[in-house]
Chains A and B, each alone.
Chain A
């Protein structure tokens, strides 16, 4: 409960109004587009790779605050990391927002992303929180379009 309140009252004020890495890339190494039919969210993720290092990652699109903030914070977490880190964080993030309550704080490496734990209380919004992550994964797997459905 308090986690979700944090999400809306503090983090959103920051990330929703000033999303990080929110821009199109003209020549990304890979990119993908994701849809969430429930909210009408659309997000595009662009990655610039250097070997197995994510040199740059950005997004653009339209959507609800949870999906926008999730995309913004994801890009911050993944920038400069390795593809293996991205895969690992994807799994941990997914677990964070879908697993039972007692699983909180098992993964210190999630850092600020832990604020999304509160989303679990609102199952219909989990897709908003995971859209950017699924889209990032699809981009790395060279899928053009992904959907939360």
Chain B
């Protein structure tokens, strides 16, 4: 038993209050009670999306059943109720990621839209021919393509921080890649394909020496309790609700108030204006300036319910549980001779990418599926990462707050089975 699990069981021994009872927690998730191809579902694709607890599903149902109305508009009871629930969630998000003010929280469709928003506003405003944007070699396509599009439009240059064979950033190369032409650093907090946790605080310090703002793609980090935007001192932070046990179609862009205020609007429409005439339009204050049109109200309220759920469970305990499952899985998979782990950084979130000698990851995925085990197989929307390791794809098991050591055992047994079939 390692120090972490020891601590968890000691806490557990002091009373039910502090005990992380994963088996009890699993009962909160209806999907996990189901069977797939006659076998209990072993859901290890949390990096793609997480399952939803009953409280989130019920909250959305309740909104549509008895609270449905538009926000920021009517003076009637329901509209005020919807508005207050909607804005209350903004405060929940602010506290959840420790932003300074709730007006620094912009609701968007997801991480991808958050990044595109910054590219279309801040990026378009500040990037000129010959300027540079710095990203890393482990980015998801959604933190590459928006910058490529912008660079191509502005005749600017995209530069890339390389990674080593363990899947860690070559941090020592960052100062050499920053210069007076750099306009933005856009970097992932946690690699979706490798699990690497990047040293964001250090990167922010380096970038700020050049007065360069930093956007952090937090899609894979927020579910693991890693986020305190004021501690990181990043300028933008993006994440998706559906990876933190909330509904799909909603996400968050955090931006420092001073930056958001200096940026042009993203889309034109209702809610983002203060006054409109045919001669001119006065834009609304932040965050509304960036939220044109009727928002995804039920999504926001559902995200609020997910944050309540996670807050009650305490993120540091979730993180400790996930670390235990990750360490257990890493040990077990490393023990299979035919398995090769891709991404062995010293700091990792609960993501394991691997290959089985001589077996294509899609064949592994299909055979695991027959055992009721859901993993991701493919390039994980991170083809440059695959190219870096000279592989077409990997199998990825990504663990969430409800995964157990027994599920890891099921994965390991199935991987051994695959190996036997092919060797």
**B422 adjacent to A64 (CB under 8 Å):** no
**A38 adjacent to B421 (CB under 8 Å):** no
Complex interface residues of chain B between 23 and 44 (CB less than 8 A to chain A): 37
Most interface-central of B362, B378, B392, B393 (chain A CB within 10 A):
B362
Q: Which residues of A contact B393 (CB under 8 A)?
A: 39-40
**A40 adjacent to B370 (CB under 8 Å):** no
Which B residues contact A (CB, under 8 angstroms)?
37, 359-363, 366-367, 369-370, 378-379, 392-393, 421-422
**A8 adjacent to B379 (CB under 8 Å):** no
**A65 adjacent to B37 (CB under 8 Å):** no
Complex interface residues of chain A between 64 and 111 (CB less than 8 A to chain B): 64-66
Q: Which residues of B contact A8 (CB under 8 A)?
A: 363, 366-367, 421
Provide the bound-state CA to CA distance between A4 and B379, in Å. 24
**B363 adjacent to A64 (CB under 8 Å):** yes
Q: Which residues of A contact B360 (CB under 8 A)?
A: 39, 63-65
**B421 adjacent to A64 (CB under 8 Å):** no
Provide the bound-state CA to CA distance between A16 and B423, in Å. 11
Does A9 sit within 8 A of B, measured CB to CB?
A: yes
Residue of B nearest to A9 (CB): B421
Provide the bound-state CA to CA distance between A13 and B361, in Å. 16
Provide the bound-state CA to CA distance between A1 and B371, in Å. 11
Q: Which residues of B contact A12 (CB under 8 A)?
A: 421-422
Nearest Cβ in chain B — how far from A96, in angstroms?
Answer: 18
6 sample A-B contacts, Cβ–Cβ < 8 Å, listed by A number: A4-B370, A38-B362, A39-B392, A65-B363, A65-B422, A125-B366
Q: Which residues of A contact B378 (CB under 8 A)?
A: 38-39
**A125 adjacent to B362 (CB under 8 Å):** yes
Residue of B nearest to A40 (CB): B392
Does A5 sit within 8 A of B, measured CB to CB?
A: yes
Nearest Cβ in chain A — how far from B358, in angstroms?
Answer: 9
* B369 contact from A63, A66, A122, A128, Cβ within 8 A: A122
Provide the bound-state CA to CA distance between A12 and B421, in Å. 9
Provide the bound-state CA to CA distance between A9 and B393, in Å. 22
Q: Which residues of B contact A66 (CB under 8 A)?
A: 362-363, 366
Complex interface residues of chain A between 18 and 40 (CB less than 8 A to chain B): 38-40
Known contacts A1-B37, A38-B362; 11 additional CB pairs below 8 A are A1-B370, A4-B366, A9-B421, A16-B422, A39-B360, A62-B392, A64-B361, A65-B363, A122-B366, A125-B366, A128-B362
Q: Which residues of B contact A64 (CB under 8 A)?
A: 360-363
* B370 contact from A5, A13, A38, Cβ within 8 A: A5
Q: Which residues of A contact B422 (CB under 8 A)?
A: 12-13, 16, 65
Residue of A nearest to B386 (CB): A40
Residue of A nearest to B367 (CB): A8
Q: Which residues of B contact A16 (CB under 8 A)?
A: 422
Provide the bound-state CA to CA distance between A13 and B363, in Å. 13
Provide the bound-state CA to CA distance between A62 and B390, in Å. 14
Nearest Cβ in chain B — how far from A87, in angstroms?
Answer: 28
Nearest Cβ in chain A — how far from B378, in angstroms?
Answer: 7
Q: Which residues of A contact B366 (CB under 8 A)?
A: 4, 8, 66, 122, 125
